[in-house]
Amino acid sequence: MTARTNTAAGRDLTTGPIGKTLLLFALPVMGSNILQSVNGSANAIWVSHVLGEAALTAISNSNQIYFLMLGAVFGMSMAANIMIGQAVGAADRALATRVVGTATLFFIAISIVVGVAGFTLTPAILGGMGTPLDARPDAIAYLRVIFAALPVLYFFAFMMMAQRGAGDSRTPFLFALGAVGLEVTLNPLLIIGVGPFPQLEIVGSATATLIAQSTALTVMLVHLYRKKSLLVLTPAEWRTFRPDFTVVRTLIFKGLPMAFQMMVVSLAAVTMMSLVNGYGSQTAAAYGAAVQVWTYVQMPAMALGAAVSSMAAQNVGAGRMDRVDQIARVGVLYAFLFSAGPIALIYWLDPIILQAFLPAGSPSLPIAVHINEVVLWGFVPFGMAFIFNGLVRATGAVWPPLLAMVIALWVVRIPLANALTPMLGADAIWVSFPAGSVVMVLLAAGYYLWGGWRTAKMLPTATPHGEALDTGMGPPAGVEETEAAAEALSRTSPSGPRR
């Protein structure tokens, strides 16, 4: 497979106007995030309205554990994503092939280990985090199915991220659309039992996840093989392939800090959930409903952060550090605007939005409204910090974002929640959220401005060739047009494309 021109490949994120290219790349990522959130919300709606508040509490507690386990390999996925992006930016096909093959074997092995461990330890974990007794049986049943599905869930997430690292955000969106559509369809059928489908109640929700993502992963792999994508090795390549232990070391030593960062977030969420559980099922259900809303609020910043990381990784591989700084400025501005807008809308529409997750007469509803009043605005600085951290990680600077997260969550948020509890009660928990977010954006911005991230390295790559590898995947819609416009502009401006 040979390198192609920018327009033909449609994968080169090292040219074109920063603002438009970033937005066009981020939109399918945000679409995927929206789909996943709609899926989770549909799940929560069916569970809460059919099975009751205790079942919703079970789902909320179980999801905190699932996200913790997901964080165990998220960092390695991100490290692989960055290495693939840098290899594509440098037009180093040999490196990209080594990264893809080694990472595939690595993720298959680690997902099996984590799945078996999680399945075995589920009761102890839920007991340790203080899951309410009325919700614990459902939580155990639900979470064990999720852990059994973990190898599929992990590998599906890895392949989605790998495609974005290669410069394609549209294809993962399409497969996410198929997976979510199937899961949303199966959820009520398996929860309540319709026609030939058994009535599995809360287990049916987890089973729908397993079936939908297994199907989507299978079809995705077939699609990538048919397209002769760089992200899958042919049978002939597998026969001669040997794992690259330099890549393994990078996955571990660069991925672990990012995994630790996700685990720090997830452990903090589990700890906060434990504090919330102390106030009973009504407050826990209110918190679970509020978290569903927060998921949507964070989506623009998360999508922009993923787009920033992919764009920055390719530009680092191509030696375009000038564009990396432009990506940071545009990304932070977008994160501010696209986080503040949904938050203002939710402030205006509450409690109507929360009634999607809680019945209108539920005693948990006014509690959830109050939680949102205190917490929501803090997701603006949190989203901006996400951009800074995603960008510096694209160069291989992985420890400072972890340190900033530890300080924000474990030095500020959780101690503050505990310290203020005697005076404020449950409000101490809600106040601690925006406080931690403000500290995190200050630390992230400080490291971006004055830290040494520009000299960090992920993996040695070939000398940049200035054009991206053909990964065999479709480009994000509209990228060709924006790149063509940028090239026309660069011919008339000695300083090159400007936003």
pLDDT digits (tens, 9 = 90+) for 448-475: 999 888 887 665 544 444 343 333 333 3
Write the pLDDT tens digit of every residue in 399-431. Answer: 888 899 899 999 999 999 999 999 999 999 999
Q: Between 379 and 471, where is the model more confident?
A: 379
Backbone φ/ψ region at 400: left (φ over 0), alpha (ψ -120 to 50), beta: alpha
- Which residue do the tokens 């440098």 mark? 90
pLDDT recorded at residue 240: 61
* Cβ-contact 427, 415 below 8 angstroms: no
Backbone φ/ψ region at 216: left (φ over 0), alpha (ψ -120 to 50), beta: alpha
Quick check: 257 pLDDT over 80?
A: no
pLDDT recorded at residue 440: 94
pLDDT recorded at residue 232: 79
264 to 62, 70, 191, 247, 384: CA distances (angstroms): 17, 12, 33, 24, 19
457 to 254, 289, 393, 462: CA distances (angstroms): 10, 41, 10, 13
pLDDT recorded at residue 9: 34
* Cβ-contact 202, 47 below 8 angstroms: yes
Type of residue numbered 294: W
Type of residue numbered 162: A
Least confident of 84-93, 101-110, 314-323, 431-440: 84-93
Average pLDDT, the chain: 79
Mean pLDDT, residues 191-209 taken together: 84
Least confident of 34-48, 261-275, 320-334, 367-381: 34-48
Range 88-118 burial, b when 16+ CB lie within 10 A, else e:
bbbbbbebbbbbbbbbbebbeebbeebbeeb
Omega before residue 342 within 30° of 0, cis: no
Residue of 204, 189, 4 lying closest to 93 (CA atoms): 4
Mean pLDDT, residues 383-405 taken together: 86
Residue of 371, 288, 286, 385 lying closest to 332 (CA atoms): 385
Range 385-398 burial, b when 16+ CB lie within 10 A, else e:
bbbbbbbbbbbbbb
Rounded to the nearest 5°, which phi and psi values hold at 34? -60, -45
Range 301-331 burial, b when 16+ CB lie within 10 A, else e:
bbbbbbbbbbbbbbbbbbebeebbebbbebb
Q: How far, in Å, CA of 353 to CA of 348, rounded?
A: 10
- pLDDT band at 8; cut points 50, 70, 90: very low
The conformation of residue 475, written as its DSSP 8-state character, comes to P
pLDDT recorded at residue 151: 84
Q: How far, in Å, CA of 291 to CA of 83, rounded?
A: 32
Percent of the chain with pLDDT over 70: 86
The predicted model scores a pTM of 0.64
pLDDT recorded at residue 469: 39
- pLDDT band at 369; cut points 50, 70, 90: very high
pLDDT recorded at residue 48: 73
- pLDDT band at 215; cut points 50, 70, 90: very high
Instruction: Compute the CA torsion angle 462, 463, 467, 472 (nearest 10 deg).
Output: 0
Mean pLDDT, residues 329-345 taken together: 92
* Encoded tokens for 106: 């690595």
Quick check: 246 pLDDT over 60?
A: yes
Quick check: 2 pLDDT over 50?
A: no
Q: Between 472 and 152, where is the model more confident?
A: 152
Quick check: 238 pLDDT over 50?
A: yes
Instruction: Compute the CA torsion angle 166, 171, 176, 182 (nearest 10 deg).
Output: -150
3-state secondary structure 399-454: HHHHHHHHHHHHHHHHHHHHHHHHHHCCHHHHHHHHHHHHHHHHHHHHHHHHCCHH
Type of residue numbered 441: V
Torsion sign (Cα): 259, 262, 265, 269: negative
pLDDT recorded at residue 164: 78
pLDDT recorded at residue 475: 30
pLDDT recorded at residue 143: 86
First CA to last CA across the chain, in angstroms? 33
pLDDT recorded at residue 499: 33
- pLDDT band at 355; cut points 50, 70, 90: confident
* Cβ-contact 375, 294 below 8 angstroms: yes
